Structure 1
Amino acid sequence: MTTPLDRLRTIRKRRALAWAGAAYAGLVLAGALIGAEITLRSKTRWVKGVFVPVGRRGNDVFLPASVETLSRGPLGVVPLRPNRGHAVLGRHQMAGTVVKRPILQQRGTLPNGALAWVSTYLYNGTPAQLGVAYSDEVVRTPVGDMPAWHIPPMHGEPDAVAIVIHGHGGQRAQALRMLPALLRSGVGSLYVTFRNAFGAPQVGKGYLTLGDVEAEDVLAALHWAQEAGYRRAVLYGFSMGGNIALSVLRAQFRPYPIPVVGVLLDSPALDWRATIRWNAQRFGLPKPVARHVGAFTQWVVTRRSGQDFDTVDQIQAAPTFDVPILLWHGTRDRTIPIDQAEALAAARPDLVEYHRVEGAKHIRTWNIDPKGYDAQLEAFIGKVVPGVQRE
């Protein structure tokens, strides 16, 4: 016989389950809405770094200890106005409770006591921070003029050009670390932007398409290169920029104004479904919850923007690729899972030269071994664009 107490307990259990279900649904919904907003719109005014006071004694710089200042490899330092200068710092060591790094390169002044931007990206301005001559250009597209930097080859007439494509929420300056190697390789460089990125025209609601439509802006950059006298190109993409570069290889964009003879990829986003799930888990959600948040995020993104995730699945597209690919990815990448790079390398060992960089974070593969990275870059360009006049 059921007693009133049993009925009360049953009601309480049902209510508890209902509240738990509602809370779970609310968590998934909130996570999906936040994830969709980040996925569809991401642009920042500043190159990532930290602002810290700088101490200086002779050729040594002293910095507060932080994740950024303790990072492996070199650091860039830019004092805030009214101080003007830029320095590249070498390997760190601890000096008591602060970080000590030697100055490897310096332009302008880096005074003791300055408040400065410090970053593993090294540069936050233009090629002028490296003392390199460049011109501000625009790449004309049907949706507006995309700003770009053009750095001509060091020797001879235009022949081959590297079209450098930044990533999701990124800026052109993040790839200035690689400019000296590009110059030594003998190619010109065109650092481009794409629609709905910072500094570029906004189209519609400003939604990114994760590499799909942005590929049209890189195609326009190939037209710019043709008009500038270049005869062949390599595409060099970072993170989402890597997906854009591979999207340009789709049949619908052929024939190109000038041949694309190779692709370089640094920490590329190759499978956005997996990336969204990975980032949901990265922010502390248990795997089952992250799986649900990821699936619902994809649904929200598609509902808002019409995004076709199959179109930007470059692992699935791997059998169609027909140019050599140089690929770097770091084992400590918390933004794009390294499994994607390894899947691409395994799918096309005939085309992909893969470098798994131990200890490297997202788009920080260069920082672990700058000389090794530069050597791999220069050797690859020498292979795919033979005959250019190198340094």
Structure 2
Amino acid sequence: MKRHSHADQPVPRSSARRRRIAITLGGILLTLTGSAILAVGTVARRVVTPARTRFRESDVLAIDSSNGTITLAKNPDTVLPGRYGLFFGTPERYLRLGGLLESNGTTVTRELESPSDGLPERGPATFSGWYYSRPDELGIDYRDIAVPTPAGNAPAWLFPASDDTGRWVVIVHGRGTTRSECLRAVPVWREAGYSSLLVSYRNDGDAPRSSDGLYGLGDTEWQDVDAAITVAAEHGATEIVLMGWSMGGTIAVQTTLRTSRPDLLRGIVLESPVLDWGRVLEFQADATRIPVPLRLAAIGAISNSWGRALTGLDAAVDFPGLDVVSRADELHLPMLVLHSDDDGFVPSSGSHDLAAVRPDIVTFERFTVARHTKLWNYDEKRWTSAIRDWAATLD
């Protein structure tokens, strides 16, 4: 694990290109036709609308029940070593996948750790980093609790520590997923003496719906995590670490900047985090070949009050406020960042830049081949050691 010593460095102006949006957006809007306005609304809503179904980016080609194997179409995710999960079939079932057994130019064969009776032999599927899908699968005592949030009571799973140390970790899942994403983290935190609170937040499918039913991309969801901090304190927490995956990283950082209980916070762990939405949206727009004028107009619609009619948002999203790299001088808590350079969804450049400008507080665990939110799956030993060693520095 690489630790950096403090050095005062200027914060990179990573959002300079987006700051020019205000200059160019007016001209773009004046030339928009009715169909173009519709396209802007479609792209903008796609960013803030919770998905109703999973994106099927993988294909099951064969299941060999007798040998306990499954063959998938080869892509950058399915070929990864390690343990994973798969959503497959109708009705949908969750399957655990073990190690990689064979790979050729077009297919991969992996161990299938779940029963396959009743499943079709072929079809589209979703390759996942969850591995555990239910809290009881960990074999650790837990209980369901409710977190009173501004949107209503949000369900959470509480895994108490073996001994009451007063140390808690509040763990926040990413966009388009649920608390199950976070189950992988419970064992290492329990080993470190922490109680783990796995929270839900507005519009994630478990927690109550907000009035607009849309993501605030961290600009609103932090309030639900702040409410969880209050609940943790009521249950005896005296020291709290926040942990977030992907958009959950945005939410966690925003909580540290806006919380009503800063006295309780001791550190933050980020896995494949969104630290600058501008970079992420530009990266994804490039990947899907969305024209520059359309993407700029869509970002403008999300981030300005005039766009509410197109997006359906109750309030505009404050993208500059969510740019953690540009606000790095406001951060003060010790931070562990884990990110893979081949993420494929959230570019790791934000994590690199944050580590560069705040080496006094940021420990950066850089992976090169692990993809998005699959670092535990790819190298559980390294991932666990990084968190355990970092947590020990908080003593």
* Shared fold per TM-score greater than 0.5: yes
What per-residue deviation string (whole Å, max 9, x for no partner) do you get for residues 302-322 of structure 1?
Answer: 331322212211112110111
Match of 1:293 in 2: 294
Asked if 1:139 is matched to 2:147, the reply is yes
Match of 2:229 in 1: 222
Q: CA deviation at 1:144?
A: 0.5
Q: Is the 8 A contact 1:76 1:121 kept in 2?
A: yes
TM-score, normalised relative to structure 2: 0.79
Residue range with higher mean Cα deviation, 349-358 or 194-203: 194-203
Q: Is the 8 A contact 1:152 1:158 kept in 2?
A: no
| Matched letter for residue 180 of structure 1 | P
Change in Cα spacing, 1:321 to 1:81, as seen in structure 2 (3 Å) is: same
| Residues in 1 aligned to 2:214 and 2:338: alpha-carbon distance in whole angstroms | 28
Bigger radius of gyration: 1
| Residues in 1 aligned to 2:201 and 2:355: alpha-carbon distance in whole angstroms | 27
| Residues in 2 aligned to 1:309 and 1:118: alpha-carbon distance in whole angstroms | 30
**Which residues in structure 2 correspond to 1:33-44 (within 5 Å)?**
33-44=41-52
**Identity, % of aligned pairs?**
28
Asked if 1:72 is matched to 2:69, the reply is no
**Which residues in structure 2 correspond to 1:105-144 (within 5 Å)?**
110-111=115-116, 114-115=119-120, 119-123=127-131, 125-144=133-152
Change in Cα spacing, 1:115 to 1:134, as seen in structure 2 (3 Å) is: farther
Q: Is the 8 A contact 2:72 2:109 kept in 1?
A: no
Change in Cα spacing, 1:142 to 1:341, as seen in structure 2 (3 Å) is: same
What per-residue deviation string (whole Å, max 9, x for no partner) do you get for residues 335-366 of structure 1?
Answer: 22211111111110111111221122221222
Residue range with higher mean Cα deviation, 340-349 or 203-212: 203-212
Change in Cα spacing, 1:51 to 1:186, as seen in structure 2 (3 Å) is: farther
Q: CA deviation at 1:284?
A: 2.2
Q: Which runs of 5+ in 1 are unaligned?
A: 1-21, 387-391
Q: Is the 8 A contact 1:195 1:214 kept in 2?
A: yes
| Matched letter for residue 236 of structure 2 | G
Q: Is the 8 A contact 2:80 2:378 kept in 1?
A: no
Q: CA deviation at 1:158?
A: 4.8
1:123 aligned counterpart, secondary structure: coil
| Matched letter for residue 202 of structure 1 | R
Q: CA deviation at 1:268?
A: 1.1
What per-residue deviation string (whole Å, max 9, x for no partner) do you get for residues 72-122 of structure 1?
Answer: 32223678799999645123324998644346xx6xx62567459773424
Q: CA deviation at 1:36?
A: 1.1
| Matched letter for residue 141 of structure 2 | A
| Matched letter for residue 239 of structure 1 | S
| Residues in 2 aligned to 1:370 and 1:157: alpha-carbon distance in whole angstroms | 26
Change in Cα spacing, 1:281 to 1:310, as seen in structure 2 (3 Å) is: same
Alignment root-mean-square deviation, CA: 3.2
Match of 1:239 in 2: 246
| Residues in 1 aligned to 2:225 and 2:173: alpha-carbon distance in whole angstroms | 11
Asked if 1:277 is matched to 2:282, the reply is yes
2:339 aligned counterpart, secondary structure: strand
What per-residue deviation string (whole Å, max 9, x for no partner) do you get for residues 207-246 of structure 1?
Answer: 2221122111111101111111121111001111111111
1:140 aligned counterpart, secondary structure: strand
2:185 aligned counterpart, secondary structure: helix
Match of 1:361 in 2: 371
Match of 2:8 in 1: none
| Residues in 2 aligned to 1:195 and 1:83: alpha-carbon distance in whole angstroms | 24
Q: CA deviation at 1:189?
A: 0.8
